[in-house]
Amino acid sequence: MPSRCRIDRRAVISCLKDYGIVGAGGAGFPTYAKWNFDLDLLINAAECEPFLQSDKWLLKKHSEELKAVMSWLKKLFRSVTIAIKSKYIHLVKNLNTKVATLPDRYPVGDEQCLTFLATGKRIPAGGLPIDVGVVVTNLTTAYLAYQACCNNKPFVERYVTIIAPKKLLISKLPIGTPIELIASQLNLPTDLVIDGGPAMGEKSSGFTKKTTSALIFAPKDSFIYKMKTQSIESILQLARVACATCNNCTLACPRWQLGHPIDPASIMRKYSFNAPLEELKIASYCCHCNVCTLVCPLGLSPSRVNFELKKELRKVGRPDKLEAVERDWTGVASSFAASRLLADFELPNVPEYTEISIPSGIKLRIYLNSHIGKIPNVLVQKGQSVEKYDPIAKIDTPNNLGVNYHSPVKGIIENVGEEFVEIKVS
């Protein structure tokens, strides 16, 4: 571990905020807000969605550096444990860190499932790992935090898994890389591009973000295209006439299995018949893993119903925090269902690394809203020259939740919007 590493907690917190470190696993929660506590750190290396490979690639290619990461983290937290599926335990055996092995189930990477499986502690419904003395951080996030606090490097690039029919690739991409550039260089379909994993990912904005762990290029005739493009109107119409009340969706729900009061079957039926919002508040406890949709024998989508409901429920604040009841967590049905998502892609078992060229003249778009919290104030103007790592947006006051953003390349500011900065590569 370099002697220049920051180990004073206040210095670490300030550094994480200044250098734009957010959760790289998908949520984008500012890391400094999680790390402001001397608790037990649980490093999430589960990468539980099918075929995602970015964290495993990091373990394979940066194992020596990750030893230093673990040594540094042990100076910051009460304890450090890395959680990983048992079939990949060989990737972490030389990190000199306590290991919690996980079953090959989906979604073991969900922070509530992960905390229970790794520690035996049940987080209250509507609660957070901190409620049981645990801080959960994605492996890539921990690596980026080390780069910031020990090497003064802001978060401007990351490994991304690229998935398309018969292609499973890894590439290190600058934040803001155009999806069209990737597709053209690799000859990939662009009927639908999903940002994230096959289960929880959503339609891409057209550019990579800090939270982009994977990109899926799905042709129109693929199963995942049809699942992701189904309209909420058709889902509700089908629910009214086709739901067999088998309750498979609820029984397979990982949060229900953890003892939370979520009930996808009841929510979908009530919502499809226009029940008042007051009767549907339990949708707030949904984690959007899509398991309920994957196990439905009739192709209905309770998860999309929950997603739409939560948009409304957010207006009334966070859900009540309730103690979890005792139930058995199995994940068996959900793991089997998740494996079907990309079955028609005929993917190889081992990823291949590929370089994506970022030529002069290409425009990168850095979205300033790819984190939870306030959008930072833009620091640059159109026509201004920037170097790689230069600050381009800064959170205005210390008390606002949010992070700073930096230029991933040398270039010229091409355009500035309320929620993005566009840079033309020099």
Q: Is the pLDDT of residue 318 over 80?
A: no
Whole-number average pLDDT of the chain: 92
SS3 172: strand
Residue 1 binned pLDDT confidence (cut-offs 50, 70, 90): low
- Examine the pLDDT at 336 and tell me if it is beyond 80: no
Tokens 């290396």 label which residue?
45
Confidence of residue 134 (pLDDT cuts 50, 70, 90): very high
| Peptide bond connecting 107 to the previous residue in cis, omega within 30 degrees of 0 | yes
Q: What is the chain's Cα-based Rg?
A: 21
Q: Domain 232-326: which topology?
A: Fumarate Reductase Iron-sulfur Protein; Chain B, domain 2 (1.10.1060)
Nearest to 408 by CA among 216, 194, 213, 210: 210
Structure tokens, 310? 């939560």
Which residues are registered as beta bridge partners of 41?
80, 135
User: 3-state class of 83 per DSSP?
Assistant: strand
The arithmetic mean of pLDDT across residues 50-67, rounded, is: 94
Burial class of residue 90 in the structure, from the number of CB atoms within 10 Å of its CB (0-12 exposed, 13-18 middle, 19+ buried):
exposed
Mean per-residue pLDDT, 244-272: 89
For residue 395, the model assigns a pLDDT of 92
Tell whether the model's pLDDT for residue 242 goes beyond 70: yes
Indicate if the pLDDT at residue 204 is higher than 80.
yes
Q: What pLDDT, on the 0 to 100 scale, is given for residue 400?
A: 85
- pTM tops 0.85: yes
Q: Which of 172-186, 248-262, 377-391 has the lowest average pLDDT?
A: 248-262
The whole-angstrom separation of Cα 184 and Cα 179 is: 9
CATH topology of domain 157-228+343-353: Ubiquitin-like (UB roll) (3.10.20)
Domain 9-151 and domain 232-326 have a common topology: no
Q: Is the pLDDT of residue 279 over 90?
A: no
Select the more confidently predicted residue: 269 or 10.
10
pLDDT tens for each residue of 369-412: 999 999 999 999 999 999 999 999 999 877 789 999 999 999 99
Closest-CA residue to 175 (of 24, 18, 386)? 24
Q: Please state the rounded mean pLDDT for residues 86-114.
A: 94
Q: Which residues contact 301 (CB under 8 A, 6 or more apart)?
A: 227, 230, 235, 292, 293
Beta-carbon count within 10 A of 231 CB: 10
CATH code assigned to 363-425:
2.40.50
Q: For residue 359, give the amino acid letter.
A: P
Percent of the chain with pLDDT over 70: 97
* Dist CA 389 CA 19 (whole Å): 9
Predicted confidence band of residue 35 (pLDDT cuts 50, 70, 90): very high
Note whether 58 and 140 are within 8 A (CB): yes
Q: What percent of the chain has pLDDT over 90?
A: 70
What angle is formed at CA 361 by the lines to CA 360 and CA 367, rounded to 5 degrees?
105
- Written as six digits, the tokens of 22 are 């957010």
Which range, of 129-133, 147-151, 212-216, 292-296, averages the lowest pLDDT?
292-296
End-to-end CA distance of the chain: 35
Torsion of CA 237, 241, 244, 247, to 10 degrees: 30
Q: What is the pLDDT of residue 26?
A: 75
Output the pLDDT for position 141.
97
Residue 270 has pLDDT above 80, yes or no: yes
The pLDDT assigned to 297 comes to 87
The CA–CA distances, whole Å, from 69 to 4, 16, 23, 98, 406 equal 13, 15, 16, 14, 23
Superfamily of chain region 9-151: NADH-ubiquinone oxidoreductase 51kDa subunit (3.40.50.11540)
d(CA 328, CA 311): 30
The closest alpha carbon to 134, from 41, 273, 66, 16, belongs to 41
- The whole-number pLDDT of residue 407 equals 98
b/e per residue, 254-287, with b = 16+ CB within 10 A? bbbbbbbbbbbbbbbbbbbeeeeeeebebbbbbb
